[in-house]
Amino acid sequence: MIDSRPLRLAVAIGPLIALAVGCRGSPVAPEPGPIIVAATYSETGRHQKSATELAMGYRLAVEMLNEKGGIRGREVRLVLRDDASDPVAAARHYFDFVTSDTVDAILGPYGSPITEAVMAVTEAAGWPMIAPLASAPELWRGRERRWSLQLLNPSSSQHQGALALAAAHGARTVALVYENTLFPAGMARGVRDVATTHGLEILLDRSYEIGKADPVELVSAARDTNADVFAGAAYYPEAVALAKAVAESGYVPMLVSLNLGPDAAQFAHDAGGSARCVVGNTPWLPGIRTAGFIADSETFIQRYRSAYDALPDDTGAAGFGAVELISEAMEATLTAVGEIDRATMRDHLFAMSSRSVLGPFAVAPLGDEQAGAQLALSGLQVQWQDDGVGGLVQRIVHPAEAAEAEPCFLR
């Protein structure tokens, strides 16, 4: 079962938040000084690696925004706290943010489970929040959100392209393994749906609890089925471990599809030769031309490499893009009403069709049963392929109109 304790705690303090915020009044007129934007990220804990890249995107966007004069001449300051990869800790930090007299706007944390706990706080308080890295559709489907907006494409769609490619190549069976938490479990449901669409039989449907992944055992069970496709729904460290386990086990599926991992520039380094022909989903790659409120993708990449001596991936682009969108909404609100009015910001975000460095942005409107769910952004399938000189290179293989190469298959 998925652990619901963090969400129950956040829901329990919701009425207290509403009371505290209500006593302060809304909207809150900004002080004639810097605009304070607050968020948490997992500086420590199991999500530290990916969440740090989110924070890097946040920091660079604020730096570049201020170089352009801030928002209507006001400097923007970023306040980041460590949620230690813990939904309960994150909810407590966001309680502090929304009951503060100094915070003007917020951004979301890393990951669907942490975002779910935070949403209970921010929805109760009436604070608009862009969730940059929460792709679980369950966070929006049937929830009629009023303040929370999704930046990524839903996780349920993220294996779709890989399974379509495999089916076209003759695949008939799938082995599915996934972590039993909100984001991977939502992705697993998407795999089941897509498998049905393409007439694929799921021979193994195995979950594991958080922190208890045994990649060798999971892959051994998949090998015993000899399924054509090995589909894994996990976070980055487990994805690398699963790719290695497949290569070392003697299991040779037609295709290995992992939701997270293949999108990252360092995946081939971390997984070594095991990364060959592994496919995964990403909403963004450095080769995709995009532009937003602060910068175009070429400028973003150049500045990111200069600041961090690394090439950005979609996690950093999501952090940068979230700052672009919230800044666009704050500028529009200051222009319209002269202050950072949260309800006006919310209305603008839910209604706007815009773009960021990550790509197009538009969500289901207020009043819709999945209000706030991302509608405009779609995913790409990327694969690590031989580069012709003994190494591996990341190439887009789906959809056809964006493909840089034909997919490679292991058998």
Q: Is the pLDDT of residue 18 over 60?
A: no
Pair 191, 247 in one domain: yes
Look at residue 108 and tell me if it is in a domain.
yes
Does residue 35 sit in the same domain as residue 68?
Answer: yes
Residue 177 and residue 107 share a domain: no
pLDDT, tens digit (0-9, with 9 covering 90-100), for 164-199: 999 999 999 999 999 998 888 888 999 999 999 999
What residues pair up with 396 in beta bridges, in sequence order?
Answer: 382
Residues 146, 130 share a domain: yes
pLDDT in tens, 278-305: 999 999 988 889 999 999 999 999 999 9
- 409 is a domain residue: no
Range of 187's domain? 156-282+379-398
DSSP single-letter state for residue 219 = H
Torsional sign, CA 33, 320, 211, 163: positive
Q: What percent of the chain has pLDDT over 70?
A: 92
Residue 143, classified by CB atoms within 10 Å of its CB into exposed (0-12), middle (13-18) or buried (19+), is middle
Residues 328, 344 within the same domain: yes
Based on the domain organization, do 75 and 30 belong to the same domain?
yes
For the whole prediction, is pTM greater than 0.75? yes
405: exposed, middle or buried (Cβ count in 10 Å: 0-12, 13-18, 19+): exposed
Residue 356 lies in a domain: yes
Domain membership of residue 372 (yes or no) is: no
Same domain, 294 and 237: no
**Amino acid 1: pLDDT:** 47
Give how many domains the chain has, as a whole number: 2
pLDDT of residue 21: 52
What is the CATH classification number for the domain harbouring 229?
A: 3.40.50.2300
Question: Is residue 368, in this structure, part of any structural domain at all?
Answer: no
Residue 221 belongs to a domain: yes
User: Could you tell me the pLDDT band of residue 7, with boundaries at 50, 70 and 90?
Assistant: low
Does residue 109 share a domain with residue 42?
A: yes
Least reliable range by pLDDT among 5-14, 232-241, 287-296, 374-383 = 5-14
Q: Is residue 127 situated within a structural domain?
A: yes
pLDDT confidence of residue 9: 53
- Percent of the chain past pLDDT 90, that is, above it, reads 80
Residues 57 and 104 in one domain: yes
Please check whether residues 184 and 265 belong to one and the same domain: yes
Mind listing the pLDDT tens digit for each residue in 308-346?
999 999 999 999 999 999 999 999 999 999 999 999 999
Give the distance, in angstroms, between the CA of residue 80 and the centroid of all CA atoms in the same chain. 18
Q: Is residue 411 part of a domain?
A: no
Neighbours of 94 (CB within 10 A): 31
Is the same domain home to 305 and 236?
no
Q: Are residues 277 and 310 in the same domain?
A: no
